[in-house]
Structures are given as C-alpha cells and as structure tokens.
Structure 1
Amino acid sequence: MALATSLQQFLDRQSIPYRLIEHAHAATMREAAHCAGVPEACVIKAVLVEDDDGFMLAAVPASCDVELTRLSRAVKRPVELATESDIMSLFTDCVRGALPPLGSAYGVEVVVDRRLDAMADLYFEGGDHRTLVHVTGEDFRRLMPEARHARISVMH
C-alpha cells in the first residue's frame, strides 16, 4: 500500500486519524469503490480544473461527474479541465490519474460538492490506484476549512 508523501505528511500535521484500504488496481474511482466494497456516493473523485487564476480541485462523489458550468457559476469565473501534464506537475508524488482531493496538501484550492457534506464516512485516493484513505466526514470537513461547498456535480 502506498500513500503519497505530501498527503501523509498533511494528514499527520493535522492530527487526523485515517485508515488505508487496499484494493485491486482500479482505473476509476467508481471501480475503486466497488473493489473496496464501499458505496460510490462516499468515495470522492478529485478533478483538476484551471482558470485564469490557476488550478483548483473539484471534489465530487464517484457516482457523479463534475458539471463545469455549475462549477464555473460557483467560483464566478470560467473553468476548464486541466491537462495531464498540469496534473503530473502538481501531484508529483501521485501515480498518473490518482489525485487526492485534499488540495491544501498540494497548494490547490478545492470546491467540494454539497452531496458530500452529510456523509458520515468518506474515502479518497491515496495517490495510487490501489489504496483508498478512509476518514470520517467530520474529519474531512476539518481538513478543508477554506473549501467552498456548492452543487457542482451531476449523476452518471
């Protein structure tokens, strides 16, 4: 099991208890949810977007897709998906496509979908395609005090 160094250091600095869940290799967060045996609605998919001010992460349930129009309205500026090279340059300790939603660990702003607000337990990518990090919903919210919360997703 591998946890991205930046993510591990961030969680440890914040004194947040977490549990790692190892699962079979999964190419998507929906697959990761199924492999780990946890509900898709509780698994966070992080999507990197960019605008004229830089980069931000959109954190949505694995059962949903980021709706860029809604996200643009929430942040009051147009956004578009970041490139793969942008992702790799920001998340240097993560495997390609395995983004944790904790932007503060990487100096990136985060917008959290409101569907995640009431979840008692949340799971997210640990930096590879084989590890989920489990935290309580309360602890996740404590990790993201400056994150915006808005309805930014649509169901698959």
Structure 2
Amino acid sequence: MAIAATLQKYLDDRDVTYDLISHEPTESSWGTAQISHIPGNRLAKGILLRDRQGYWLAILPASHHLLLSDLKLDLGERVELASEDEIAEIFPDCVRGAIPPVGECYGLDVIIDSSIDQQPELYFEGGDHATLIHMSQAEFARLNTRARHGAFSEGP
C-alpha cells in the first residue's frame, strides 16, 4: 500500500489519525466503493476545476454527480473542468484519475459539497487505484479548514 508522497507528508506534518485500506484496483471511485463495500456517500472524490485565477478542487461523494451549473453559481461563470494534462501537472505523484480530495497540500482552493459534511467518517483514494485512506469526519474537516462549502452535486 502506498499513498502519494505529498499527501503522506501533509498528513504526517499535521499528525492526522487515519487507516490505510488496500483494495483490488478499480477504474472509478464508484467501483472502488463497491469493491470495498463502502457506502458511496462516504467515499470522497476530488474533481479539478479551472477558473481565471487558477484551480479549485471540488470534493463530493463517489455516489454523486457534479452539477457544474450549480458550482458556477458558487465559484463564478468561468469555472470548467481541468484537462487530463493539467491534472497530471498538479498531481505529479498520483496515478491518473486518483486525485486525493485534500487540495490544500497541493496548493489548491477547495470547495466541499455539503453532503460530505454529513458523513461520520470518510474514505478516499490516496493517490493510486488500490489504496484508500479512512478517517473521521473531524480529521477530514481539520485537513480542509479553509475550504468553502456548497451544494453542487446530485446523488441517488
């Protein structure tokens, strides 16, 4: 089991309590939730966005879909999905598609969907497609103290 070096250092520097859970490699966050027997609303995923000033990391449950039109109301009309090349540049120590939902350690502004705040515990990819990080809601909130919060996803 391995997590991205940037994330590992960030968690260690803040003395965060968490568990690592290995799982069979998957192609999507929803697939990870299913194979790991974790409710999809407790598996946080990150989506990189771009606006005129830079980048945002939107965090929402794996069981939900991003509503870009709602997010534009919170962040401004010029927000759009970042390209795969931009993602690779910002997350160089992560496998493609395994963005950890902890933007501060990568120098990103963060916006968290309000449904994440309701979960007592969270799981998320640690930078690859075979390792999950598990922590309490309190620890996750401590990692994202400067994050904005809003309602910009739709789930089952």
TM-score range (shorter-chain normalised) is: over 0.9
Paired amino acid for 2:56: M
Paired amino acid for 2:133: V
Query: Displacement of 1:77 after TM fit?
Result: 4.0
Taking the TM superposition and a 5 Å limit, the aligned residue runs for 1:11-30 are 11-30=11-30
Q: Report the equivalent of 1:83.
A: 83
Partners of 2:104 and 2:44 lie apart in 1 by 16
Partners of 1:97 and 1:80 lie apart in 2 by 17
Taking the TM superposition and a 5 Å limit, the aligned residue runs for 1:3-42 are 3-42=3-42
Query: Displacement of 1:107 after TM fit?
Result: 0.4
Moved over 2 A (4+): none
C-alpha RMSD of matched pairs (Å): 0.9
Partners of 1:21 and 1:135 lie apart in 2 by 11
Q: Report the equivalent of 2:94.
A: 94
Partners of 1:6 and 1:146 lie apart in 2 by 18
5+ unaligned residues in a row in structure 2: which ranges?
Answer: none
Partners of 2:144 and 2:77 lie apart in 1 by 21
Aligned residues between the structures: 156
TM-score by length of 1: 0.97
Paired amino acid for 1:89: E
Paired amino acid for 1:112: I
Paired amino acid for 2:41: A
Question: Residue by residue, what CA displacement relative to the aligned partner does 1:82-115 show, whole Å, maximum 9, x if unpaired?
Answer: 0000000000000011100100110011100000
Taking the TM superposition and a 5 Å limit, the aligned residue runs for 1:55-134 are 55-134=55-134
Task: For residue 49 of structure 2, give the secondary structure of its aligned residue in structure 1.
Answer: strand
Paired amino acid for 1:15: D
Query: Displacement of 1:45 after TM fit?
Result: 1.2
Task: For residue 111 of structure 1, give the secondary structure of its aligned residue in structure 2.
Answer: strand
5+ unaligned residues in a row in structure 1: which ranges?
Answer: none
Paired amino acid for 2:14: Q
Partners of 2:77 and 2:18 lie apart in 1 by 34
Task: For residue 7 of structure 2, give the secondary structure of its aligned residue in structure 1.
Answer: helix
Partners of 1:144 and 1:111 lie apart in 2 by 9
Taking the TM superposition and a 5 Å limit, the aligned residue runs for 1:41-52 are 41-52=41-52
Paired amino acid for 1:66: L
Query: Displacement of 1:78 after TM fit?
Result: 2.4
Task: For residue 127 of structure 2, give the secondary structure of its aligned residue in structure 1.
Answer: coil
